[in-house]
Amino acid sequence: MSTNMQAQAVPRIGVTGMWSQQVHGLRFDGSAVAGAVLKSVIRAGGEPHTLFALSRLEPAERLIGLDALLVPGGADVDPARYGEQRGDATRTADFAAQDEFEAGLIAAAIEADLPVLAICRGFQLLNVEQGGSLIQDLAPDSVHRNSVHDVSLERDSRMAEVLGTTQLPVSSYHHQAIGRIGSDLRVVGRSPDGVVEALEHVTAPLLAMQWHPEDTAAEDERQQALFDWLVTNAKRYRKEQGR
């Protein structure tokens, strides 16, 4: 296969960057994505394309030429998006454009039947944009804040099928959690204390999780399987589009 043909065969995965006031190595603000997320996409056989929070294009236009969307972790979602006042512990994105940027892309991807993987902040934003809400701050001693804990998955879920198990340890780093469940979303995973850990869209090719699979994907094939699922479905989408 020629180099050009090889490049054409690799699915392009759009990954939303977090617009930050400070990025190491830059003089001013910048856009960043966790290296572990990008490495996991590459390991799965995809080519990550980082998307910035501002654009002259509409969300659907920004997805043209992409084969899947990945929305990773980051700052808290603005509570105004789910009708609440900001709590003392809530820390929203450095720039107000971040929420609308990612929300628009998620909605456009669902409309286009584009494969989506939503992690932590992406998971929470998905729920909010589907009409759900968030618990703004878990207990200070919550196991979710920075540790590894178990998650149980529904046996008939796509998530369990992808991971090849109904129970596994996950890397957790969050102080907020899902409250009211958004429309067209199904809860398919919970931690032992009842916190919602995994969601699936009832019709769209979308998997969302509260934990960080990228943290251990290099050593744990079950966590890497989530990125493999995204790239496999991106290849399918690419083929359907005739690319």
- Residue 63 CA neighbour count, 13 Å, CB half: 26
What CATH number does domain 13-240 carry, 2.40.50.140, 3.10.20.30, 3.40.50.880, 3.30.530.20?
3.40.50.880
What is the model's pLDDT at position 4? 59
35-43 vs 221-240: helix axis angle to the nearest 10?
70
E strand segments, the chain: 12-16, 18-20, 30-32, 47-51, 68-71, 116-119, 134-135, 147-153, 167-172, 177-178, 185-190, 196-201, 206-209
Q: Residue 178: which residues within 8 A CB-CB, separation 6 or more?
A: 123, 124, 127, 132, 133, 134, 135, 187, 195, 196, 199, 210
Condensed to tens digits (0 to 9), the pLDDT of residues 63-93 reads 999 999 999 999 999 999 999 999 999 999 9
pLDDT band at 190 (very low <50, low <70, confident <90, very high): very high
What is the model's pLDDT at position 127? 98
Beta carbons of 209 and 121 less than 8 angstroms apart: no
Domain ranges in the chain are: 13-240
Catalytic residue among 161, 201, 212, 219: 212
Catalytic residue among 120, 129, 144, 197: 120
pTM of the predicted model as reported, rounded to 2 decimal places? 0.95
pLDDT higher than 70, residue 3: no
Rounded CA-CA distance 110/112 in Å is 5
Helix residue ranges, H only, the chain: 3-9, 35-43, 59-62, 97-112, 121-129, 158-163, 221-240
What is the model's pLDDT at position 159? 98
Judge whether 58 counts as a catalytic residue.
Answer: no
Q: Which of 226, 227, 214 is nearest to 189 (CA)?
A: 226
What is the model's pLDDT at position 242? 85
Q: What is the mean pLDDT of the chain?
A: 95
Judge whether 120 counts as a catalytic residue.
Answer: yes
